[in-house]
Chain A
Amino acid sequence: MKKDIVFVQGNEACVRGALYAGLDFFAGYPITPSTEIAELLSEHLPAKKGKFIQMEDEISSMCAIIGASLTGKKVMTATSGPGFSLKQEALGFAVMTETPCVIVDVQRGGPSTGLPTSGSQGDVMQARWGIHGDHAIIVLTASNGQDVFAMTVEAFNLAEIFRTPVILLLDEVVGHTRERLVEPKAGEINVVERLRTSVPEGTDYHPYLPREDGRLPMSDFGGTHRHNITGLAHDMWGFPSNKPDVVYGLMHHLVDKIETHVNEITRIKEFFVEDAECLLVSYGSAARTALHIVKNRRARGEKLGLLELQTLWPFPARLVRERCSSANHIIVVEMNMGQILGEVKKAVENPERVFLANKIDGGFITPTDVLNFIRITQGKGV
């Protein structure tokens, strides 16, 4: 059977994944290197009766998708560094109001305007802690077009399952690299639909009362249950409350609903991890370089392995500790100054085994760059 093979940018793989997952509504603002996502959706969404709108800024784009999500639609926005900063306010609103939505951040060099056309992985911590207040968040990433497609679908699924915003942290290299994408057939990847309340009209509906399995069924705006959504601390009806017991319960719910499901949310890829003496830990486009080295060196008999993280947050600390337990050296390969390095060091025993192989000058991290770091850890010099 002929497969649906296309040759597309990572940004387009993201668009195709979003449409596969049932995207209904996109709001965005032009910003390099994510703009292709908006351009492509402005073409494809109307064709399936979906809605596309180019808003006046990044702030309003984020607000608009939340509004649309509350009417029962699957929604997404896409941006990069400076725009991601602007979205933080409304992202916090989505966390607080438990509104499913997907935010794509195609990372570029920062801070500020930085390097608009260069790859970077500098937003890992902003994705985790960009909004004010304690909270938990789901952040996914991908290293190639095929995985971008799959992780985009995952992002929509996890947003619905956990009633939360999900950040898809791509980067300029992945977003702009054209490569082969085998488009999954309908049904090949599971697509999670919105869980709606079965409470009948006239019966009190609690938008923030979890079921036994922890999930919170929703009711669409414009449907039969008229409820209130607020960014204030609120009770199970969505009414503002500053009662300590209500606030305590809300805060724990917002964090626990994600942090206690780390295993369910964690997506990883493993290459020769089991007997690796030197284990690389990487993600996103940097993992492409890491994988190249691992395959290359394995062919020469060197025991290198790669643990590729596709879920960055909640950080899979237990899994990382377990996978790193027998390696002599652990080298975190990333294009920032050690944002995941710190998490790996926190997770593993004997963190003095953990080293950083990075690149922060706007260039893409190459196998030679990483090999030089490996040689240093092995006492061989560069």
Chain B
Amino acid sequence: MAVKDYIRKRFFPHLWCPGCGHGTIMTAIIRAIENLDLKKNNMVVVSGIGCSARISGYLDFHTMHTLHGRALAFATGVKLSRPELTVLVPMGDGDACAIGGNHFIHAARRNIDVTAIIMNNNIYGMTGGQYSPLTEYGDLATTAPYGNIDHSFDVVKLATGAGASFVARTTTYHVNPMIKILEKAIMHKGFSVVEVLSQCPEQFGRRNNIPSAVDMLNSYKTNTTPIGSKEKEKNPDLIERGIFVQEERPEYCAEYDKVIERASKGR
């Protein structure tokens, strides 16, 4: 099928700015779903609030555009009540790691079979460029005009520490690897986290001396390296990409089935 068979034309044109990386992520999600031959009626996409969250409306699945930071909580309700559905939760960096940080770590801890895609553009884009928990120390933002003094989360470490059984990082430059990683994340039985570095030339780049989307994309090429590469040894500042965690662990809905079984026998 073509990409257009997975989108809702009624919603277009989309509201993402020229040069934004989020459309690339949307296409990669569609390609992954197509490659896995998943049926549209079995797909649920739950998003929060922000630029990233608009992805749910554009996709022709069962879609929920919910509250800022709360997408994983809504998704938990969907998945636990209908475990046979495939649930994707695209989130922004502020969405997932600031206002939704608590829901994020607890979804990871439960290991519920939901795929969280963190579309990390290091900024609050929709509200006009305020610093997020993934804005680096020293970066400029509309609420950090003298430079950001917060330190950012490492999403991979955060998710791993919280108990996610699949954790990966990729970028909008690395589209084909992103599709492969998304396929694995969706098929993984458990809570999977895919952080995608996604350029925001309009709200982040413009304020941080990298206003061109192409330059930002190239920076993903030059500033990242596959996990365990020799380049990383030479240059520890390089950001690693690839699959960090992929483990089989008891999944929440499957565990709940055991509770039902125990309950049917009485305590």
- State the A residues within 8 Å of B (CB): 24-25, 27, 43, 46-47, 49, 51, 53, 55-57, 59-61, 63-71, 73, 75, 89-90, 93, 221-224, 226-232, 237, 239-240
Contacts and interface: CB of A to CB of B under 8 A. Distances in A.
A90 to B, nearest CB: 6
Interface in B31-67: 40-42, 44, 46, 56-57, 60-67
A69 B11 CA distance: 25
Given A70-B64, A232-B65, A239 B57 contact: yes
Contacts of B57: 228, 230, 239-240
Contact of A55 (B42, B63, B76): B76
Contacts of B46: 67
B229 interface: no
Contacts of B102: 56-57, 60
Contacts of B42: 222
B80 A68 contact: yes
Contact of B41 (A63, A90, A224): A224
A378 B44 CA distance: 64
A224 B41 CA distance: 6
Interface residues of B, number: 42
13 contacts: A46-B260, A46-B263, A60-B70, A60-B72, A68-B80, A68-B81, A71-B81, A90-B70, A93-B67, A222-B41, A226-B63, A227-B62, A230-B57
Given A55-B76, A63-B66, A239 B106 contact: no
B137 interface: no
Contact of A63 (B74, B260, B266, B267): B74
Nearest to B106: A56
Interface string B71-97: 011111110111011000000000000
A56 B102 CA distance: 7
B85 A231 contact: no
A61 B263 CA distance: 22
B93 to A, nearest CB: 19
Nearest to A44: B263
Q: Give the dominant DSSP class at B's interface.
A: helix
A49 B72 CA distance: 23
Contacts of A57: 102
A24 B81 contact: yes
Interface in B101-119: 102-103, 106
A51 B74 contact: no
Given A47-B264, A232-B65, A66 B77 contact: yes
B234 interface: no
B70 A51 contact: no
Interface string B112-142: 0000000000000000000000000000000
Contacts of B61: 226
Nearest to A64: B77
B89 to A, nearest CB: 11
Nearest to A97: B64
A53 B76 contact: yes
A291 to B, nearest CB: 39
A229 to B, nearest CB: 5
Given A43-B263, A47-B260, A226-B61, 15 more contacts: A25-B81, A51-B81, A51-B256, A56-B103, A63-B67, A66-B77, A67-B46, A67-B73, A71-B81, A75-B77, A89-B70, A221-B64, A222-B41, A224-B41, A227-B62
Contacts of B56: 228
A73 B85 CA distance: 15
Given A60-B106, A226-B40, A67 B81 contact: yes
Q: What are the 8 A-B residue pairs with the smallest beta carbon separation, nearest first?
A: A67-B77, A64-B77, A60-B73, A63-B73, A46-B263, A68-B81, A67-B74, A68-B77
A34 B11 CA distance: 43
Contacts of B267: 43
Contacts of A68: 77-78, 80-81
A49 B74 CA distance: 20
